[in-house]
Protein backbone atom coordinates (compact mmCIF):
# COMPACT_ATOMS: atom_id res chain seq x y z
CA UNK A 1 0.00 0.00 0.00
CA UNK A 2 2.82 2.32 0.86
CA UNK A 3 4.73 2.68 -2.41
CA UNK A 4 1.58 2.56 -4.50
CA UNK A 5 -0.04 5.25 -2.40
CA UNK A 6 2.97 7.55 -2.59
CA UNK A 7 3.36 7.01 -6.33
CA UNK A 8 -0.27 7.90 -6.93
CA UNK A 9 -0.13 10.91 -4.62
CA UNK A 10 3.01 12.32 -6.25
CA UNK A 11 1.67 11.74 -9.75
CA UNK A 12 -1.62 13.47 -8.98
CA UNK A 13 0.16 16.38 -7.29
CA UNK A 14 2.54 16.89 -10.20
CA UNK A 15 -0.25 16.60 -12.73
CA UNK A 16 -2.34 19.21 -10.91
CA UNK A 17 0.67 21.57 -10.84
CA UNK A 18 1.15 21.01 -14.58
CA UNK A 19 -2.51 21.79 -15.26
CA UNK A 20 -2.20 24.90 -13.09
CA UNK A 21 0.83 26.01 -15.13
CA UNK A 22 -1.08 25.61 -18.38
CA UNK A 23 -4.13 27.47 -17.04
CA UNK A 24 -1.81 30.20 -15.73
CA UNK A 25 -0.10 30.61 -19.08
CA UNK A 26 -3.51 30.87 -20.69
CA UNK A 27 -5.17 33.23 -18.21
CA UNK A 28 -2.43 35.60 -17.05
CA UNK A 29 -2.58 39.10 -18.57
CA UNK A 30 1.08 39.79 -19.19
CA UNK A 31 4.26 38.20 -20.48
CA UNK A 32 6.04 38.38 -17.14
CA UNK A 33 3.18 36.99 -15.08
CA UNK A 34 2.85 34.21 -17.64
CA UNK A 35 6.54 33.56 -17.16
CA UNK A 36 6.01 33.20 -13.41
CA UNK A 37 3.26 30.65 -14.03
CA UNK A 38 5.15 28.66 -16.64
CA UNK A 39 8.53 28.46 -14.93
CA UNK A 40 7.86 27.93 -11.26
CA UNK A 41 4.70 25.89 -11.40
CA UNK A 42 6.02 23.83 -14.30
CA UNK A 43 9.15 23.01 -12.32
CA UNK A 44 6.97 21.94 -9.40
CA UNK A 45 4.97 19.67 -11.68
CA UNK A 46 8.06 18.05 -13.17
CA UNK A 47 9.50 17.55 -9.69
CA UNK A 48 6.32 15.79 -8.58
CA UNK A 49 6.29 13.46 -11.58
CA UNK A 50 10.00 12.69 -11.33
CA UNK A 51 9.70 11.92 -7.61
CA UNK A 52 6.84 9.58 -8.53
CA UNK A 53 9.15 7.80 -10.98
CA UNK A 54 11.88 7.61 -8.34
CA UNK A 55 9.47 6.14 -5.79
CA UNK A 56 7.82 3.68 -8.17
CA UNK A 57 11.07 2.10 -9.37
CA UNK A 58 13.18 1.30 -6.36
CA UNK A 59 16.17 0.87 -8.66
CA UNK A 60 19.39 2.79 -8.10
CA UNK A 61 19.94 3.70 -11.76
CA UNK A 62 16.37 4.82 -12.38
CA UNK A 63 16.24 6.87 -9.21
CA UNK A 64 19.54 8.53 -10.11
CA UNK A 65 18.28 9.39 -13.59
CA UNK A 66 15.00 10.79 -12.29
CA UNK A 67 16.74 12.94 -9.69
CA UNK A 68 19.22 14.05 -12.39
CA UNK A 69 16.34 15.29 -14.58
CA UNK A 70 14.85 17.04 -11.56
CA UNK A 71 18.17 18.72 -10.69
CA UNK A 72 18.62 19.74 -14.32
CA UNK A 73 15.20 21.40 -14.35
CA UNK A 74 15.88 23.13 -11.05
CA UNK A 75 19.09 24.58 -12.51
CA UNK A 76 18.03 25.49 -16.04
CA UNK A 77 14.45 26.73 -15.68
CA UNK A 78 15.35 29.98 -13.81
CA UNK A 79 18.21 30.66 -16.24
CA UNK A 80 15.96 30.24 -19.27
CA UNK A 81 13.22 32.36 -17.72
CA UNK A 82 15.71 35.08 -16.84
CA UNK A 83 17.07 35.19 -20.38
CA UNK A 84 13.60 35.26 -21.95
CA UNK A 85 12.42 37.99 -19.57
CA UNK A 86 15.49 40.13 -20.13
CA UNK A 87 15.27 39.81 -23.90
CA UNK A 88 11.56 40.55 -23.88
CA UNK A 89 11.96 43.60 -21.65
CA UNK A 90 14.80 44.95 -23.78
CA UNK A 91 12.77 44.45 -26.95
CA UNK A 92 9.98 46.55 -25.39
CA UNK A 93 7.18 44.10 -24.78
CA UNK A 94 4.14 46.00 -23.49
CA UNK A 95 3.56 45.59 -19.76
CA UNK A 96 0.22 44.94 -18.15
CA UNK A 97 -1.82 48.09 -17.49
CA UNK A 98 -2.01 47.26 -13.78
CA UNK A 99 1.76 47.10 -13.34
CA UNK A 100 2.96 49.33 -10.51
CA UNK A 101 6.41 49.72 -9.05
CA UNK A 102 6.88 50.78 -5.45
CA UNK A 103 10.37 50.03 -4.32
CA UNK A 104 10.17 51.79 -0.95
CA UNK A 105 6.63 52.34 0.34
CA UNK A 106 6.38 55.44 2.53
CA UNK A 107 3.59 56.31 4.97
CA UNK A 108 0.81 58.26 3.33
CA UNK A 109 1.22 62.03 3.67
CA UNK A 110 -2.49 62.79 4.10
CA UNK A 111 -2.46 62.05 7.84
CA UNK A 112 0.47 63.94 9.32
CA UNK A 113 0.86 63.00 12.93
CA UNK A 114 2.48 65.59 15.22
CA UNK A 115 4.80 63.10 16.79
CA UNK A 116 7.17 62.40 13.96
CA UNK A 117 8.55 58.98 14.59
CA UNK A 118 10.81 58.59 11.64
CA UNK A 119 12.40 61.86 10.76
CA UNK A 120 15.05 61.86 8.07
CA UNK A 121 18.39 63.12 9.32
CA UNK A 122 18.96 66.73 8.36
CA UNK A 123 22.49 68.00 8.01
Partner 1 sequence: MTDSVQGVSSLVMAVLFLATLIAMIRVVKGPSLPDRVIAIDLITTLAVGIIAVYTIKTGNPVYLTAAIALALLAFLGTVALALYIRRGGPP
Residue 69: exposed, middle, or buried by beta-carbon count in 10 A (0-12, 13-18, 19+)?
middle
Shortest distance, CB of residue 91 to partner 1, whole angstroms?
Answer: 6
Contact residues for 21 (Cβ-Cβ < 8 A; gap 6+): 37, 38, 41, 42, 45
Q: Does 73 bind partner 1 (CB under 8 A)?
A: yes
Residues 24-43 that bind partner 1 (CB under 8 A): 25-26, 31, 34-35, 38, 42-43
Angle formed by the axes of helices 42-56 and 60-90, nearest 10°:
170
Contact residues for 55 (Cβ-Cβ < 8 A; gap 6+): 3, 6, 7, 10
Shortest distance, CB of residue 98 to partner 1, whole angstroms?
Answer: 17
Which residues would be at the binding site for partner 1 (CB under 8 A)?
A: 1, 4, 7-8, 11-12, 14-16, 18-19, 21-23, 25-26, 31, 34-35, 38, 42-43, 45-46, 49-50, 52-53, 56-57, 59, 61-62, 65-66, 68-69, 72-73, 76-77, 79-81, 83-84, 86-88, 90-91, 93
Amino acid sequence: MNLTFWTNALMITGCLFMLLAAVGIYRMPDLFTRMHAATKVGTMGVSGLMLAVAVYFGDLGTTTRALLILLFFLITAPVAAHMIGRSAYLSRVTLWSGTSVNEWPLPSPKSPDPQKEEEPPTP
